[in-house]
Amino acid sequence: MLDLKAIKNFSIDKSDWQKVKFGDVVFEPKESVKDPVSEGIEHVVGLEHITSEDIHLRRSAGIEESTTFTKKFSKGDVLFGRRRAYLKKAAQAKFEGICSGDITVMRANADLLLPELLPFLVNNDKFFDYAITHSAGGLSPRVKFKDLATFELCLPSIEQQRELLSVFMIFEEYSEAIVNQKIRLEVLRKSLLQSLNNGLPGSQKIKIRDLMKFHYGNGLTEKDRIDGLYPVVSSAGVQGTHNEFLTEGPGVVVGRKGNVGQVTYIEDSFWTIDTAYYIEIKDKYKNLPIKFFSYLLEAANLRKYSIATAVPGLNRDDALLTNVSLPGEGSIKDFILEIENVESCLIQIEVQKKNSQSLKNNIANKVF
C-alpha cells in the first residue's frame, strides 16, 4: 500500500542540483529503416498505440500490416506524441520497431540521465504544458524536438537519480497492480456477456424485433443545446446536456452512425441525437429491467451489421432480425447482480488509478 501521508508531504532539497536544458540530457536519434522485414523489425507503432498518461508502451501493430513508417526506435526509448501534445502521450518502449512521423523518439544521454527516469521526466504537467505552448498548427498542432530541447529543469547526480527512481517505481508497481486487476475484471465482464449470449438457464431464442423497437434520434447541434439536467446521447455515448429531453429514462441508446452498435445505458431522461437509435421495449416485456436489455444488445455484438460506407452505419433491419437468448426472470436478476458487482469494482479501480496518477504527478512536478 502507498503511504499517502508521506507522499503528500514529500519534499526534496534541490539546492545542489544542476540546472540543465532538456536537450542537454536527452537527444532525438534520427534513425530510419528502409526494409523493416529484412532488418528483423516486428513492431509498428502509431499514435493510437500510445495510451494517454501511461509511461508503458503496451500495444503495437505487426510488421505484416502495410505501413509507410520508416522512423526507428530502440528498446528503452521514449515515444512522445508530438501531434496534439495535450493528449499527453509519452511511453517507454520495451522493444524496438518503427513508428509514425507524428511521434518523436527520445533517448537519454546515459552519462547524465538514467534512461529509466526519462519517462517520468516527460510524463509530468510542466513538460506537457511546455510542449502544448510550443506547438504550432491549427486543427492538428505539432511540437518539434528542437523546441522541447529548450525546456529547463534541475537534475541531481546519477546516484540521487537512482534514489528518485526507486520512489517512482513504488508508484509503478502499484499502478501495474491496478492495471492487472482492471484487465481481470474486464475479462470477467466479457465472459459474463458471453454467457448471456450463449444462453443462461431458462433461456429461449427470440428476435430483437420481438423484444423492442429502434427509434431514430433527433438532430441537436452543439450551438442549439442549452446546458441543463438531461444528457445528450450520440453513438459515442453522453456528449453534454440539454434543458429538454426526448425520451424518459431510464433508457438504452444504440450507435447508428460512427460508433456502430455501441450501447449506452442512461439512468435519467435524455435526448438522443440523430447518429443513434433509442429503444422502446414492447409491452409484453416492460416488466423486465430495462438495464438488462442494454446488456442483451451489447452481447449481441451489433457492430457486425455495420454498412461499409464512408461513414459506417448500422443496418437496422439486420439488427432487428438478430436472435438473442432471453433468460427467465430469476436468471435475469442474478445476472444483473453479478455484472453490476463487477462494474462497481471497475469504477473503484478507475478511482484508484486516477488518485495514484494524481499523486505521482504531484511528486514529478516537485522533482522536475
CATH number for the domain spanning 95: value is 3.90.220.20
Residue 105 and residue 22 in one domain: yes
Residue 366 and residue 332 in one domain: yes
**pLDDT of 4 over the 70 cut:** no
Cis peptide before 36 (omega within 30 of 0): no
* Residue 1 located in a structural domain: no
Whole-number pLDDT of residue 204: 93
CATH code at position 337: 1.10.287
Query: Which three cell numbers mark 271?
Result: 435526448
CA 194 remoteness from chain centre: 23
Whole-number pLDDT of residue 286: 94
* Residue 92 located in a structural domain: yes
Residue 91 and residue 131 in one domain: yes
Mean pLDDT of 279-294: 95
**pLDDT of 1 over the 80 cut:** no
Distances (CA, A) of 325 to 9, 61, 194: 55, 35, 11
Residue 283 and residue 135 in one domain: no
Tell me which residue of 35, 271, 24 sits closest to 152, measured CA to CA.
Answer: 24
- On whether the CB atoms of residues 155 and 17 are closer than 8 A, the answer is yes
**Mean pLDDT of the residues in the chain:** 91
Residue 179 and residue 214 in one domain: no
Mean pLDDT of 23-29: 97
Sequence-distant (6+) residues with CB within 8 A of 168 are 117, 120, 360, 363, 364
Rounded to a whole number, what is the distance in angstroms from the first to the last CA of the chain?
A: 25
Whole-number pLDDT of residue 148: 97
**pLDDT of 291 over the 70 cut:** yes
pLDDT > 70 fraction of the chain, expressed in percent and rounded: 95
User: In the sheet that 26-27 helps form, which strands lie side by side, from edge to edge?
Assistant: 26-27, 103-108, 78-81, 90-92
Instruction: State how many domains the chain has.
Output: 3
* Residue 5 located in a structural domain: no
Q: Which amino acid is residue 232, in one-letter code?
A: V
CA 17 remoteness from chain centre: 36
Instruction: Give the torsion through C-alpha atoms of 356, 357, 363, 368, to 10 deg.
Output: 160
DSSP type of residue 238 = E
DSSP type of residue 287 = T
Whole-number pLDDT of residue 66: 63
Residue 151 and residue 50 in one domain: yes
* Residue 321 located in a structural domain: yes
Name the more confident of 114 and 8.
114
Whole-number pLDDT of residue 15: 85
**Cα atoms found within 13 Å of the Cα of residue 230, Cβ hemisphere only:** 19
Q: What is the CA radius of gyration of the chain?
A: 25
* Residue range of the domain that includes 336: 157-201+327-368
Report residue 271's pLDDT band, with 50, 70 and 90 as the boundaries: very high
Residue 30 and residue 121 in one domain: yes
* Residue 7 located in a structural domain: no
**pLDDT of 10 over the 70 cut:** no
Residue whose entry in the numeric block shows the C-alpha cell 444483473 = 336
Residue 133 and residue 210 in one domain: no
Distances (CA, A) of 81 to 99, 115, 132, 354, 355: 11, 18, 11, 21, 24
* Residue 9 located in a structural domain: no
For 135-175, how does the pLDDT look when each residue is reduced to its tens digit (9 = 90+)?
998 888 999 999 999 999 999 999 999 989 988 888 888 88
Residue whose entry in the numeric block shows the C-alpha cell 486516477 = 354
DSSP type of residue 285 = G
Residue 307 and residue 318 in one domain: yes
Report residue 3's pLDDT band, with 50, 70 and 90 as the boundaries: low
Whole-number pLDDT of residue 217: 94
Q: What's the rounded Cα separation, in Å, for the pair 366 and 254?
A: 45
* Residue 13 located in a structural domain: no
**Three-state SS at 147:** helix
Residue 116 and residue 38 in one domain: yes
- On whether the CB atoms of residues 225 and 214 are closer than 8 A, the answer is no
* Lowest mean pLDDT segment, chosen from 203-212, 233-242, 304-313, 336-345: 304-313
- Exposed/middle/buried for residue 264 (C-beta within 10 Å: 0-12, 13-18, 19+): buried
Residue 128 and residue 253 in one domain: no
Residue 182 and residue 70 in one domain: no
- On whether the CB atoms of residues 96 and 43 are closer than 8 A, the answer is yes
Q: What's the rounded Cα separation, in Å, for the pair 35 and 41?
A: 9
* Residue 102 located in a structural domain: yes
Could you please report the per-residue DSSP string of 48-71?
GGSPTT-SB----EETTS-----E
Q: What's the rounded Cα separation, in Å, for the pair 212 and 204?
A: 16
- Exposed/middle/buried for residue 215 (C-beta within 10 Å: 0-12, 13-18, 19+): middle
- On whether the CB atoms of residues 267 and 228 are closer than 8 A, the answer is no
